Amino acid sequence: MDLSSRVIIVLLFMLVVMVALWLFVYPVWRRKQLDSKPFPDNWEEIVKTRLPFYPRMPVEMQRTLQNRITHFVAGKRFEGCAGQVIDDNVRVSIAAQACLLVLSRPGDYYSDLHTILVYPSGFIVRHGSVDDHGLVSDEEHVLAGESWNNGRIVLSWDDVERGASDFSDGFNVVLHEFAHQLDHQSGATNGAPLLASRQAYQNWASVFSEEFDRLQALASSPDFHHAHDEVLDLYGATNPAEFFAVATEAFFERSGLLAQRHPQLFAQLYEYYGIDPRDWF
C-alpha cells in the first residue's frame, strides 16, 4: 500500500469518527448542557403570563415544562415575517403552549419541526379548490395558523396572544397547529396520531369516528347558523385531522366540560396526552 492510499484511509477514518461524534456524542452532550441550565427568571414570568394555571401545576410538572421549553427554543428556528420581531416573549410564549402537548412524552420536542414562521397578524394564503363541476379555483384565505408537513408551522402573533389570553374558551391556535404536528408523526395527517398498539388504534378509531360523525351531522343540519356544540368548535367537522386538533384545544382549555359532555373522547385524549388538565383548574 503506497503512502497516498494510507493517507486516504486515515482521512476516511477521521471523517467517519467525526460524523459519529456529530450524530451520537454531540446530541448527548448538548442535551446534558441544556438540562443543566437554570430556567431564566424572565422566561418563567412569560410562562406565568401565557399559562395562568402554571402556578397551580405540581412543582415537578413545572420543571418538566421548563425543560421542554428550553429544548424547544434551542432546537427550533423562529423567523419573523412581514416585520414581526422575534424575541424571548415570542419564542417562550409559543414554546410554553406547544410543550403542554408533550409534557408526558419524554424526548418528544416535535423532532420533524424545524422552523416556526411568525406573522404580526392573520396572513393570506392561496389554496386551490375543485367544485362539483370539476372547475378549479384559486382562493385566498386569511389564516391564524397553518401546519405544514415539511417541518414548518406558520402562526399569527395576534392570534397566539389572543389564544393565551383566555385559556377556557376552547380556541388556541398554538395548541391547534401543534396537534397537527403530532398527528403527522404517524406518517399521515389524518386525525390518528402515533399510538402505542393496534388495540389503541381500534379504540381511537371507534370513539373518534362516532364523535366526528356526530359533529358533522350537527354542522350540516338545516339550522346550521344556530347549531353549536358546547365544547367542540364546528370547524372540527371539516375533516378528521381538524377534528383531532379541535378536540385537543377543548381537552386543554375546556377539560371539565369535555369530560362531562364527551367522556369517551376525553378518555382517549387523556390516555394519549398522559395528563389531566382538570387538575390545573
Is residue 8 in a domain?
no
Residue range(s) defining the domain that contains residue 236: 186-281
* Tally of domains in the chain: 2
Residue 272: partners with Cβ closer than 8 Å, 6 or more residues away: 193, 195, 204
The answer on pLDDT for 281 being more than 90 is no
CATH number at residue 175: 1.10.472.150
**Span 253-259, average pLDDT:** 96
Q: What is the pTM of this model?
A: 0.83
Coil vs helix vs strand at 179 = helix
Indicate if 275 and 235 belong to the same structural domain. Answer: yes
Residue 23 lies in a domain: no
Check whether residue 159 and residue 213 sit in a common domain.
Answer: no
Q: Report the CATH number that the domain containing residue 263 is assigned in CATH.
A: 3.40.390.10
CA 189, CA 113: separation in Å to the nearest integer? 14
Residue 1 lies in a domain: no
* Amino acid making up residue 12: L
Kindly state whether residues 47 and 120 are assigned to the same domain.
yes
Instruction: Give the rounded percent of residues in the chain with a pLDDT score beyond 90.
Output: 65
* Residue 3 within a domain: no
Q: Does the pLDDT of residue 152 top 60, yes or no? A: yes
Please indicate, yes or no, if residue 153 is contained in any of the structural domains.
Answer: yes
DSSP 112: T
Kindly give the interhelix angle for 173-184 and 157-165, rounded to the nearest 10 degrees.
Answer: 110
Of the candidates 31, 16, 24, 17, the residue with the CA atom closest to the CA atom of residue 68: 31
Q: How large is the average pLDDT for residues 65-83? A: 95
Q: Of 184, 203, 234, which closes a domain? A: 184
Convert the pLDDT of each residue in 189-240 to its tens digit: 999 999 989 999 999 999 999 999 999 999 887 765 556 778 999 999 999 9
Q: Could you tell me where the DSSP H helices lie in 76-197?
A: 88-98, 157-165, 173-184
Residues 108 and 166 in one domain: yes
Q: Region 236-248: what's the mean pLDDT?
A: 96
Last residue of a domain, one of 184, 204, 221: 184
Name the band, by pLDDT with cuts 50, 70 and 90, for residue 268. Answer: very high
